[in-house]
Structure 1
Amino acid sequence: MEMRELRYFVAVAEELHFGRAAERLEIAQPPLSRALARLERELGVILLERTSRRVALTPAGAVLLAEGRAILGAVAAAERRTREAARERPLIVLAVKSGTAGELLAKLLDAYRAEPGAATVDLMLCEAHQHQRALRDGRADVALLHLPFDATDGLDYEVLHTERQVAILPGSHPLAGRAALRLAEVSALPELPMARWPGPDGSLPEGPGVEVRNLTQLFQLIALGRATVTVPESAGADLRRDLVAVPVLDAPPVTTVVAWPAQSRLRAVADLVRVAGRL
């Protein structure tokens, strides 16, 4: 098995779509399909079930995805950290989903910067689930994740903050003046279907709502009366003036954690986690 074939397979397994995987890899789709077929012949197993409408992992494919992520992550991390070892001042990469944990993130960066011998922190702002993917494939050393939406299997983490969720509505909507809402009320608005975020594997939940990948895009669609969403309260702290955030009483709370690979031995990561735990 070649490293190139493994990268190709992981991209397809995460996207569950050959077109998106080819775009992500910046190659044409036919050679990607041929490479995956060749990998299956070499291993003697079927990794992906393909139909005209969907791509799905087989049990063997799920195993190779987990192993492949670990291998590619280790290689990427080794390459990056080897280059960084030549730097006079250490550098760590912190991955964060754009538009989330703004105040908490600012406090963390300020507090860590004040530490003696603090490393340089390279901030990686990501779209949905890209931050945990970057952490797992070695492009990031540490990340802020949000439970229950992000997975923490194979990671160590420290809980930082738990908050309620709010519904984001157009300021002109009849429910915008309510003191609080219930999930059933938010999800039963035919004129404002719930926006659909891609899951960790790239697939979208069923439903009529628009597909979104970042909060800027989402808030514009809500302002245009095309969607609604429930998000952590901190994500709605600095809304544009034509939107409002209404607490949702029965939405599950969201917990922000600082997470890092269980095998990490970086002193700078340990120091940043220690600072985060004091916030």
Structure 2
Amino acid sequence: MDRVETRELAYFVAVAEALHFGRAAEGLGLAQPALSKAVRSLERRLDVTLFERTSRRVELTPAGEVLLGEARRALSAVAAAARRTQRAGRGVPYLALAAKPGGDAGMLSRILGRYESDPEAVPVELVSCHDDRVSLLHDGRADVALLHTPFDDPAGLETAELRSEPRSALLPPDHPLARRSILQLSDLRGEPVGRWAGYPDDGGVEVTDLAKLLRVTARGRAVALLPRSVLDTLDHDLATVPVVDAAPARLLLAWPQGTRSPAIAALVRAAREAAGRADTPAHA
């Protein structure tokens, strides 16, 4: 089989995400016939059908679904290789650490203080973002990231757990559930839930930051399930009620699998020490 080129994978992903050759071609800056020809050539070389095409719609075949996942990972890996190589070529080493504002459970300054006390520590550049930090790790825009499960999916990453804590529901003060002392997940069934931008659309209200989450909750448009440490940092007049059967929120330090960077290893050690978990092993 001839080697598949990254350009072909990028063309395929554009069509698979748009499910429309015209819109995909416009986004890529190509003529539609050229894009269609490139996809047909890829199908011939792989000897599979990637799209079911009719005059009204374009749909992925089972083979196309498989290639979409593999192609996204492959393109992320190529982008990560380029970014990390460029960074290494600058001659001034540093670590890019991605964190969501207000999402570090008060740990970030302690981690950096412990890490920077090491005379061999390299500078840390903070990547403050509301995007999917997992994607930042996979495509090389970040070396390490602070993640929260169950909100973030750490699959394919190595992680060190720093903190685990229960979650509480954030509710408008006049909500019928706000007077309860405890809640269960079943009590929240049917309630609109705040959803972070960039995460799968499960029908919740999209928010980009904690300030917007507070606003939509105060207006009765959403409820939220947040870790206790986050709720304690917010200035609000909303009700908070523990949800006893919600999965705990776990704060993780994550980095790409297979990384052999001494600087990342030193940061992981510092984070575990700052969290009082020096004896807890990191895991994939």
TM-score interval, smaller chain: 0.7 to 0.9
- Count how many residue pairs are aligned between Structure 1 and Structure 2: 264
- Of 251, 254, 260, which residue of structure 2 is paired with 1:256? 251
Residue of structure 2 equivalent to 1:234: 229
Residue type of the partner of 2:156? G
Could you list the runs of 5+ residues in structure 1 that have no partner in the other structure?
none
- 1:73-108, Cα deviation, whole Å (9 max, x unpaired): 333333333333344541111122343124022322
Residue of structure 2 equivalent to 1:40: 39
Could you list the runs of 5+ residues in structure 2 that have no partner in the other structure?
276-284
- 1:110-148, Cα deviation, whole Å (9 max, x unpaired): 2222222212222223335x1001111121111222223
8 A Cα contact 2:80 2:138, kept in partner: no
Q: Structure 1 residues 267, 240: CA separation in 2 closer, same or farther (over 3 Å shift)? A: same
- Offset at residue 172 of structure 1 (A): 4.0
Aligned mates of 1:211, 1:52 — CA distance in 2: 34
Aligned-pair identity (%): 46
Aligned mates of 1:54, 1:239 — CA distance in 2: 47
TM superposition score normalised by structure 1:
0.77
Residue of structure 2 equivalent to 1:215: 210
Residue of structure 2 equivalent to 1:194: 193
Aligned mates of 1:256, 1:233 — CA distance in 2: 12
SS at match of 1:41: helix
- Of 105, 130, 135, which residue of structure 2 is paired with 1:127? 130
Aligned mates of 1:131, 1:32 — CA distance in 2: 34
TM superposition score normalised by structure 2:
0.76
- Of 157, 161, 166, which residue of structure 2 is paired with 1:159? 161
Residue of structure 1 equivalent to 2:219: 224
Aligned mates of 1:62, 1:229 — CA distance in 2: 32
- Offset at residue 56 of structure 1 (A): 6.6
Stretch moving more, 232-241 or 68-77: 68-77
Residue of structure 1 equivalent to 2:88: 85
Aligned mates of 1:51, 1:249 — CA distance in 2: 50
Higher alpha-carbon Rg: 2
Q: Structure 1 residues 117, 32: CA separation in 2 closer, same or farther (over 3 Å shift)? A: farther
> Within the alignment, does 1:71 sit opposite 2:68 as a pair?
no
- Offset at residue 260 of structure 1 (A): 1.2
Residue of structure 2 equivalent to 1:243: 238
- Of 246, 259, 271, which residue of structure 1 is paired with 2:266? 271
Q: Structure 1 residues 213, 50: CA separation in 2 closer, same or farther (over 3 Å shift)? A: farther
8 A Cα contact 1:40 1:46, kept in partner: no
> Within the alignment, does 1:96 sit opposite 2:93 as a pair?
no
SS at match of 1:95: strand
- Of 178, 183, 186, which residue of structure 1 is paired with 2:185? 183
- Offset at residue 55 of structure 1 (A): 7.9
- Within 5 Å, give how 1:129-144 maps onto structure 2: 130-144=132-146
- Offset at residue 269 of structure 1 (A): 1.0
Aligned mates of 1:272, 1:125 — CA distance in 2: 18
> Within the alignment, does 1:148 sit opposite 2:150 as a pair?
yes
